[in-house]
Structure 1
């Protein structure tokens, strides 16, 4: 498995994705202890909470929500391997979905993130980063430029409050200078992630649109099993798949239909192991607001035009690191035996070079 940690000394490394099955003997159930970010007194519930309980979801706290880590007697390792070979479904309705409206929506969004949104074709999106004045990453997100007059944004549940505060503060400042933009929170839709090499084949009978024409990072409004949804060809497992934004009133119905079509339920345990194996960052674990895009190995998210305009928060620090190289960097480690725990020291000839 690919374990993503920080090294203080920059070294060359490339991200890779292993397709070697996760050994069922691994005690993956222990992963639940890492999925609880902070103690809370009240847990939010997604629109699919009752659905999870009905299907024997083992609920844990994650980002302030009650979420399934796995279902019934299906172990995390088994679920992981199923998605690597077939397809599975995750409830990611806890994530923040929003729209940015207004004639200056692109200019506003580019004040907040490092990506080139202006350069996107209609109905395509990109992974990008909210940054702060110090060049640190506030959150990672996907921003899609629709042909319907708005940007569609999906960001992390664990960063929801600070993302909203950041966007609202910057929006007020932007509008005070005459900018035309508005923020709309999408709270009447759930979000499903269908992931795995057989996702398209399994979904296609439920669609009128041809998924072969919905390329990676493309997004489109279409009916899924007769339900109006927004479907985006993306995911966070290292496999092919889509994310489906579905009206709350139809979310359970759609999930039951997908189960009947052969999609297997999957929980947070498999989602975490899949993204880790694929070398994908988890905010709060692998990146945070003290980590720059360059240190995180995410320089590719900074658009070429944005490097020239240098008009995003923290640009001076980030672009200097891009030129001079950082003194620490996130890399992947291949290890044998039990995986190292968080913050375990990494030694080279007895000297600590990272963690």
Structure 2
């Protein structure tokens, strides 16, 4: 049982064409005609639409704190207060001063890819960088996660 998209779900791993998967898919389609199989890209789109970051894509491994990643709500407040959390000094500093960049979700009007610089409007000054993008069939436009200066978050 897994929930990497913000929804309850199941991930089944088996060799391609495994008979058990074929039977399971046939039974699911019989019981729920609207159910469709989806791959990793479908899960990635759902995850991005839900605003859930992925370590390695939206959260560079080892370089981003929960504060910068807009995940302060995941920190154990008791451990923070009692200084029982590794890196608590840096986290307190970022909570007090705010990070230089914050992770945000974006709806894009045009093409973009990971690594694209974001420019302010109308002065066209750099304000951040795109972390990841995907086409959202539900929204009929591109969605992205990016790191931007706090005043633009």
Secondary structure of the structure 1 residue equivalent to 2:103:
strand
Q: What is the rounded CA distance, in whole Å, between the counterparts of 1:280 and 1:315 in structure 2?
A: 24
Normalized per residue, which structure has more strand? 1
Secondary structure of the structure 1 residue equivalent to 2:110:
coil
User: What are structure 1's unaligned runs of at least 5 residues?
Assistant: 1-230
Which structure ranks higher in relative contact order (CA pairs < 8 Å, sequence separation ≥ 6)? 1
Secondary structure of the structure 1 residue equivalent to 2:5:
coil
Partner of 1:305: 78
Q: How many residues align?
A: 117
Q: What is the rounded CA distance, in whole Å, between the counterparts of 2:19 and 2:92 in structure 1?
A: 48
Q: What is the rounded CA distance, in whole Å, between the counterparts of 1:254 and 1:309 in structure 2?
A: 51
Q: From 37, 42, 48, give the equivalent of 1:270.
A: 42
Partner of 2:3: 235
Which stretches of structure 1, 4 residues or more, deviate above 4 A after TM superposition?
A: none
Q: From 61, 65, 68, give the equivalent of 1:292.
A: 65
Q: What is the rounded CA distance, in whole Å, between the counterparts of 1:279 and 1:354 in structure 2?
A: 18
Q: Which TM-score applies when normalising by structure 1?
A: 0.30
Change (3 A) 1:337 1:244: closer
User: What are structure 2's unaligned runs of at least 5 residues?
Assistant: 30-34, 130-153
Secondary structure of the structure 2 residue equivalent to 1:241:
coil
Secondary structure of the structure 1 residue equivalent to 2:115:
coil
Partner of 2:124: 350
Q: What is the rounded CA distance, in whole Å, between the counterparts of 2:12 and 2:76 in structure 1?
A: 27
